[in-house]
Amino acid sequence: MTTREREYYDKVAKKYSRMISSGTGAALKRNERDCLMRLLSPRRGQSVLDVGCGSGFYANLIRNTGAEVFCVDISPEMVGVVRSAGIKAEVHNVESLDLEKKFDKILCAGPLEFCRQPSRALENLRHHLRREGCMVLSALSVSVMGFAYWLYHMSHGLRINLFSLPRIAHLLKQAGFMIEAVEKPTSFMYVIRARPV
């Protein structure tokens, strides 16, 4: 991830929750949300790492289940929004993440598309996951809508990754994960639950 991504998300931080939960994208976001939360299935007493937490959309849902959520994001402004809601959050880049602790579950909804080295990001996440834990991640697929999303980000000076299912499966295997479930809540996104090998 680069300074450009951080600057963009710093700029939209205060309106980000509204951006992703209203207008034409609201129905798509609901499908994504329902799928991610069902596969993550956080429970009271569990610890959950929300990587690329943005303005705390998922962190709030996780907290409402009684699970303990800890958030990281590359954008200081996003982290500020999350902290203002009373949720623990720190500024970190997933490609160099080292919190020196492990979690029962990890949610990685979005950051991989911005990583220059997604394999390194996944390896870092594997080190933060307890042996019996699971990770749920979303990845933008190679598709017409995925390409449209790519063009949208290019118009803001951001380069993103699109993933085929074989590629993301290969990256997960390399990082020490075994895929447990794959779903496609929208035409341009994979949601995957994976466990440590």
Please report whether residue 16 resides in a domain. yes
CB-CB contact of 94 with 52 (8 Å): yes
Please report whether residue 44 resides in a domain. no
Please report whether residue 101 resides in a domain. yes
d(CA 42, CA 187): 25
Number of domains in the chain: 1
Reduced to 3 states (helix: H, G, I; strand: E, B; else coil), residue 176 is: coil
Confidence of residue 148 (pLDDT cuts 50, 70, 90): confident
Please report whether residue 153 resides in a domain. yes
pLDDT at 13: 59
The residue range of the domain holding 129 is 3-21+49-196
Write down the mean pLDDT value for the chain.
89
Reduced to 3 states (helix: H, G, I; strand: E, B; else coil), residue 13 is: helix
Of 108, 125, 122, give the one whose Cα is nearest residue 169.
122
Between these two residues, 194 and 55, which has the higher pLDDT value?
194
| Buried/exposed code over 54-64 (b: 16+ C-beta within 10 A; e: otherwise) | bbbbbbbbbbe
Tokens read off for 188: 């341009």
pTM of the model: 0.86
Decide: residue 99, CB within 10 A, 0-12 exposed, 13-18 middle, 19+ buried.
middle
pLDDT at 149: 75
What are the angstrom distances between the C-alpha of 2 and each of 6, 58, 75? 7, 23, 11
CB-CB contact of 7 with 161 (8 Å): no
Mean pLDDT of 53-80: 95
Decide: residue 15, CB within 10 A, 0-12 exposed, 13-18 middle, 19+ buried.
exposed
At a CB cut-off of 8 Å and minimum separation 6, what does 126 contact? Answer: 135, 175, 176, 177, 196
Please report whether residue 95 resides in a domain. yes
Please report whether residue 129 resides in a domain. yes
Query: pLDDT tens across 154-181, in order?
Result: 787 777 889 999 999 999 999 999 999 9
The residue whose two tokens read 């954008």 is 75
Tokens read off for 102: 């492990």
Please report whether residue 86 resides in a domain. yes
Please report whether residue 143 resides in a domain. yes
Number of H helices, E strands in the chain: 8, 7
CATH number at residue 17: 3.40.50.150
